[in-house]
Structure formats: C-alpha cells, structure tokens
Structure 1
Amino acid sequence: MPDNLTADNADIAVIGAGIIGVACALQLARQGRRVVVIDRQPPGHGASFGNAGHLATEQVFPIADASILKRLPAMLMDPMGPLRLDWKYMPRAVPWFTRLLLNLRPAPFQRTIAGLRALNESSFAAWNRLLQSIDQTGLLKEDGSLLVFERAESRQAIEALQARMRQQQVPVDFWSASTVQNSAPQLSAQIQGGLFFPRTGHFLDPYRVVCELVSAAKAAGVQFLEQEVLGGQLQEHGVSLITHQGRFTARQVLIACGAHSAKLTAALTGKQVPLDTERGYHLMLPHEHERLPFAVTSLERKFIMTPMAGGLRLAGTVEFAGLEHPPFMERAWQLHRLSKGLFRRDLNAEDATPWMGFRPSLPDSLPIIDKVCDGKVLLAFGHQHLGLTQAAITAELVAQLVSPGTHSGLPALAAYRLARF
C-alpha cells in the first residue's frame, strides 16, 4: 500500500471504477475532496464496457411486469430466449422475483415510475454538464432512438405503449413505415412502423467515456488502485477497508461497485440488500458502419442495435444465473441471428466479438443513492439497465450528499434510500 494513502489524506474511497464510480469520483474531487478509487479491474472493464450505449431516458417503467409469471416456463426451458433463468440458480432467484412481483402492486409500482422518471428526466442535462466540463460533448449523439415493430398485430401493443409513455410525459412520436424507411433506409421494408423517442441518444464509445472521465479525475487529483476490496468495518473516525494487499482507511467510503456491492454494504451497514444481477450480453460487429443513424430496438425480437465508433453493437438479452456461473456466449451470437430479416441486407458478423457483463438490479427497479452510518458510508448502486443513463445525475446527487448545496434542482432522494429495504 503506498505510503501517501492513509487516513490522514484520503477523504473518500470510491469502491468501483465503472461509469458511476468514476463520475462520482470526479465530482467529489472537484469539490476539493481527496479521492481514491479502488477496483479489482482497470476502470470501465465491468458492465460499463459492454452496455448498449443507449441514453435510455424513455425507460421509466420497472424492469418486468406481471406477465413474467406466464413467461417463467419459457425462461427455464429456452436457453436462447430474451429472458432466461438458469435452473441451477432458481432457488436463489425465487426470493428476488417474489419481491419484484410484490413491487408491481399499484402503490409501489407508481413509486418506481416516479423514481425512474425523476432520474431519467434529469439525466440528459446532467450528461451534457459532465461532458462539457471535460470537453467531450462529441461522445454523445443527441439524435433520439426508435422502437420498431414488424407484425400488423403488434400495432395495438405499440399504440398502448405510446399512450402509457405520454401519460408519463415521455416525449414520443408514432412513425409510419414510410417515415421509418426515410430515416433508416437500410432497415427492412417489412417494418410496419415504430415509436421515436426524440429525447434519447447514444454514446459513440461507452468505454471511452469512462476513460475520458478517468483522465479528468486524475487531473483533479483522484488516485486509482487496482485492488480487490475483501471487506471492511466502521471506525470512530472513518471506515477501514480490507484489500488483498492490506488495510486502507478513509473518512468516508462510497460503494459503487454495481452487482458486487451487496457484500460490502452488509459488512458496513448491517443491511442485507436484495441485489441480484441481470447478466447482459452484447455482440460487437466491427465491419458494420453507417447502417443506422441512431439506436433501434425491435419490439418483437427484444434487442437493441446501437451505432458506435467501433461498429454496430447488438445488445439486450438478459440472463439470471448469478455472479459465479461462466458466460454462455452463444446468447451473444444469438443476437446476430435475431437481426436477420431486420435489414435489407444481413449484417456482417465477420470478426465480431461477444461479451457478457453484470447489470446490478434491485426488485423495485430503483437504485440505492444514500448516505448512512453517520455519513461514513455513501451508496450508489443498483441502477439495473440504466447505469450509463443515470451515471451523471447520480454523481451530482452523491456530490450533494457529501456537500449539501453543491447542486440545485436535483431529484429528491427519498425513493432511493437504503432504509426502504
């Protein structure tokens, strides 16, 4: 352990070097805090590396609805389905799914929507502030996104979704088949139409976003340690963390290590958080450029395609199998098979690279953003599919927790408190 990292000069230790941890570290350093970021991997090598790159401000509904009960047999039987539950993981998953279903009752369901809306409606402006501050606004394309449907019988579902979105004040337009063809001419002529979300966007390279934030954080004095945090305990004047290289002490700790946050949260707060992981897969097609002008999602096929600097990224499949089960990369390759028929000419999968990462999900679909244990422990995890979308606003909220009055007009934190569990 370097001599200069001691309790005397480390104000905040951020556990997790993903997009949320790094964004928070930068904000905190700019407030004059002495910050160290600790992660067992290099920055941005977890879920932040392989996400869909979609700034998904339109996603204001919970991650599942009551129809999940009807889909359970398919989830167990179909290893290639869009939502899969591994048989071996089922005993551990059942309590989490039970809590998810309980949160679909009217009152908690509305609380979830309100909580997601509050963060998502603030996310675009927060990202613009953050990217402007590091002179990297070109990494975010503010050009909307499109949800398409192919079957005539899907029109009713699309119109119902449009009505629900408008009820929640999500900007959305119905596009006819001709409008879709004019805007994305390489898509198949069999597409019947879709919903266009003008207040969404996509990142050209999610990993580079993390790297640029890391560079800015280092320039602001943040130190990065590649170590694994094994545990920790509260002390009179701070928090002691145990790493594989010894002990490290800081006045405050921010737990922002995504799907790996539950164990340390329990050790420091005594609270067992019902955190599970949605294992997400992507397939990166490096030879596919200029196919799409913006991110496109298929209603029936249930996956998203995002144009990036490095090609076209196909993503969206979800698997519940825990943190230890090895990746089933055939699910990533299934994304290419799902794309067949969506374009006038099939996508080129030559030199494609598959990937799997862990999305940290809580059963009420909301993150935990809080300050507990007399202010010694800060929490920012559980953002499910919306970690990238909500990272910048989460960083501002954490900065506000540490230094009240730092930011104005931020969402209220009541919905994201640890005490709700």
Structure 2
Amino acid sequence: MTTTDTDIAVVGAGIVGVACALQLARQGRRVLLIDRQAPGHGASWGNAGHLATEQVFPIADLSILKRLPAMLLDPMGPLRLDWKYLPRALPWFSRLLLNLRQAPFQRSVAGIRALNEASLDAWQRLLASIERSHLLKADGSLLVFEHQASRQPLDALRARLQQQGVPVDCWSSDNLREAAPQLSPTLQGGLFFPRTGHFLDPYQVVGELFSAARAHGVRFVRAHVSGGRLLADGVALDSDQGLFQARQVLVSGGAHSAALTKALTGRQVPLDTERGYHLMLPGERQRLPFAVTSLERKFIMTPMADGLRLAGTVEFAGLEAPPSMQRAWQLHRLSKGLFKQDLDAEGATPWMGFRPSLPDSLPVIDRVCDGRVLLAFGHQHLGLTQAAVTAEWVGRMVERSAGVETAAYRLDRF
C-alpha cells in the first residue's frame, strides 16, 4: 500500500500519537495514523491514570546506587533490574548516573517542570474541545506516610517541591480522615497536590480522542512499521502492510521508537523501557475520592470508573522478557494496612506495559531532517500527563510558530 496524499504519517497510536494526530488534523493536515495494535492498546491502556504534574524530578537520584543490590536480588521490590538484562542495561544506567550530576540533573528538572506546569491546562482544553471534560477529575492527589521516621524526608520533599513552584499542602491525619475516611487511622498525614488529577478511564480517553481525530479526517491503518528512509520530498515507511509515503512522519511509538528513529535520522537513541504493572480491582469503585500514593510502599491507587487501579512497580527487563505478573499481585499485598478494611481483590486483573524511558528522564520532542521527521516519544511514566501539551507543541513545530521552546528535548542531545 503506497500513500501519496498524506501530509503526516504518525507512527504510534498511544495517547501521545493520537493526541498529536488530532492536533495536526485540526491544523488542516492530512494525517495517517499507523500502529501494530488498535489505538490505545499499549502503555496507554494500563497506565496509573494519574495526572502527575507534581512529579518534576527525574526517575532516579543518587540513592539508586544504594538500592542497586536490592534491585538485582529482590524480585518483588518496587524497582527491579532483571540480572539477565543487566549487560544490556549497563550503558543506559551509565548514562543515567552521568545525568545525576548537578548540572544535568537540574536541566532535567527544568525540562520536566516546563511540560508538567502546562499539562493540566492543556488537558482541560483538549477534553473540552471534544466535549469530554468529565473524563478528567482535577481534584488533586495525595501522598501519605505511615511512620514518624518518614516525616523528615517528607518535609524535605515538600521543600524541594516548593522550590520548583509545585503547589503542595501539608495534611494532618485529621485532614486525611475528613477527605478519605476509608483510609487507615494509623496514617500520620501526607502531602496534597491541588494541581493534579486523575482520569476515570485512560483507555476511554484515547478512544474519544481517536474518534475525534477520525471525524477530522485522520485515517488509521493497523500495520507494523519495520523501517523507513528519507526521500527528496518526504519519507517512505516499510511495513508488513506495504509501503507508506508521506511528506512528513511523526515518530510517537513510545518504547518502540528507537529503531525507526535510527533508520530515519541515523541517530541511536538510548531508549529503554520501564516495565510497569497494575492490578485492577473491579469491586472497589467507591474506596477513594482521588489518587493516593504511599510514600513508604511506593505505589499508587487511582479510583476509576471500572474500579480501583493499583500501579507503580517498575522493572527493567527489556521488551522481550515475559511479564512477571506476580509483581502485579504484589500490589494488593502492599495495600494491606492502608485502609480500615482490606481491599477486595475478587475478579482482579493484572497487566504489564512498557514505559519509554531515556536516561535524562526527558522525552524527545523535535523537528529534524529539514522538517521531514518529527519526534515525540520517551515520556517515561509521564506520557499520559504530558500528552496534551506535547500535541500542542508538535502542532507549533509543524507550523514553525513561536511560543514553544523545545531545546531541552532535542534529539541531538544524545
């Protein structure tokens, strides 16, 4: 199949790719959306559903050095590195450690913050434009702690967040009981983030955006893009469904973006994957009013239309290893003691997906190869949070308009 009447081929139909496709179609571009799966069936289907604008720090800090032995030895730990994957992961982790130096670390913080500060407003604009504002509950989120020994690190985190301009309130145990009465009275307190929120159904969000995109003329083809090359007046993409041609291509394939980026630009991107797990509890639709994260247990619980989603465990094991679903079930065990009554796990379903991560915790958002190649991938665990603002920035890049500064996210930083 050869497509010659396409302005932009978007490769990747996750939340970032679909949001970008809709944005570009609204700007008058003829858009072809391509993915090996149906829209929203990758990491976008099973993410935590948390609009995590408060998470302005990189995925790791210097404490990762102390945690490395546990990462290798504890298969149920919140952050795990599969020892069989260690040789392949070492170059990526080496880059990550270099980015923990003060100057690059601060650049990462500034880059994450710039996206996150704009994310809530961008999402509200986008959902309002398709008359689906109800899918986002901008009611804030809560980080709770259990032990007095955690109060000092919590206060230190609050101070760091305030230095970055993140709105944060200190809540007592009385505040917890008033806002979320089903939480355990043994919880000491926490931090409340008023400029955050949660999505009632992340997969439905992708579906609604995809429907709007199709209404604006976006075509979708289910195909696996195996490679590509630049043409004098555009790009050619090789796939198991034939050849696609377009004037421009947007690579937004999440954790699967590295090979196509290399084929088109010649640059090897140090992209790895955080394998994330969730456990969906259909019998717990009314347990929490907003997303709650445990400081000590390091996982999040998000109320959704279909139940309560427990998420947050991270595993580095690559794209090929089979999932370790016991990690998903471990989330239910971690929840014990956080509520007055334990969560009901009857009918629970586990899931694993791939979060695309770069060693500086920043995505690639760029326009390269004389504008023929656009890039929007590598948002790590903030893909849902940053999708709407990324779409707006991609739209401005295509128009070559002012008002967006993407220097921190350029491809040539690697």
Q: What TM-score does the superposition give when structure 2 sets the normalisation length?
A: 0.99
Find 1:308's aligned residue among 285, 304, 308. Answer: 304
The letter for the 1-side match of 2:92 is W
1:270-319 per-residue CA deviation (whole Å, 9 max, x = no partner) reads 00000000000000000101110000000000000000000000000000
| Corresponding residue of 2:410 | 417
The letter for the 2-side match of 1:299 is L
The letter for the 2-side match of 1:367 is P
1:364-397 per-residue CA deviation (whole Å, 9 max, x = no partner) reads 0000000000100000000001000000000001
For structure 1, which runs of at least 5 residues remain unmatched after alignment?
none
Alignment of 1:371 onto 2:380: no
| Corresponding residue of 1:184 | 180
1:17-416 correspondence to structure 2 within 5 Å:
17-405=13-401, 409-410=403-404, 412-416=405-409
The letter for the 1-side match of 2:393 is L
1:142-196 per-residue CA deviation (whole Å, 9 max, x = no partner) reads 1000000000110001000000000001000100011111110000011000000
Identity %: 75
The letter for the 2-side match of 1:419 is D
| Corresponding residue of 1:6 | 3
The letter for the 2-side match of 1:417 is R
| 1:219 positional shift | 0.2
Alpha-carbon distance in structure 2 between the residues aligned to 1:245 and 1:360? 25
Number of aligned residue pairs: 414
The letter for the 2-side match of 1:207 is Y
Alpha-carbon distance in structure 1 between the residues aligned to 2:229 and 2:165? 44
Q: What TM-score does the superposition give when structure 1 sets the normalisation length?
A: 0.98
Alpha-carbon distance in structure 1 between the residues aligned to 2:241 and 2:27? 29
The letter for the 2-side match of 1:113 is V
The letter for the 2-side match of 1:6 is T
Alpha-carbon distance in structure 2 between the residues aligned to 1:64 and 1:106? 13
1:187-230 per-residue CA deviation (whole Å, 9 max, x = no partner) reads 00110000000000000000000000000000000001110001
Alpha-carbon distance in structure 1 between the residues aligned to 2:307 and 2:400? 42
Q: Secondary structure of the equivalent of 1:363?
A: coil
Alpha-carbon distance in structure 2 between the residues aligned to 1:245 and 1:101? 41
1:96-138 per-residue CA deviation (whole Å, 9 max, x = no partner) reads 1111111011110110011011000000111011001100000
| 1:404 positional shift | 2.6
Q: Secondary structure of the equivalent of 1:324?
A: coil
Q: Secondary structure of the equivalent of 2:153?
A: helix
| 1:409 positional shift | 4.5
Q: Secondary structure of the equivalent of 2:105?
A: helix
- Point out 4+ residue stretches in structure 1 off by more than 2 angstroms: none
Q: Secondary structure of the equivalent of 2:34?
A: strand
RMSD: 0.7
Alpha-carbon distance in structure 2 between the residues aligned to 1:208 and 1:248? 28
| 1:343 positional shift | 0.3
Alpha-carbon distance in structure 1 between the residues aligned to 2:149 and 2:177? 20
The letter for the 2-side match of 1:295 is A
For structure 2, which runs of at least 5 residues remain unmatched after alignment?
none
Alpha-carbon distance in structure 1 between the residues aligned to 2:131 and 2:289? 23
The letter for the 1-side match of 2:15 is I
1:230-287 per-residue CA deviation (whole Å, 9 max, x = no partner) reads 1011111111100012111111000000000000000000000000000000000001
The letter for the 1-side match of 2:411 is L
Alpha-carbon distance in structure 1 between the residues aligned to 2:104 and 2:31? 36
Alpha-carbon distance in structure 2 between the residues aligned to 1:385 and 1:398? 20
Q: Secondary structure of the equivalent of 2:276?
A: strand
Q: Secondary structure of the equivalent of 2:124?
A: helix
Alpha-carbon distance in structure 2 between the residues aligned to 1:299 and 1:94? 28
Q: Secondary structure of the equivalent of 2:383?
A: helix
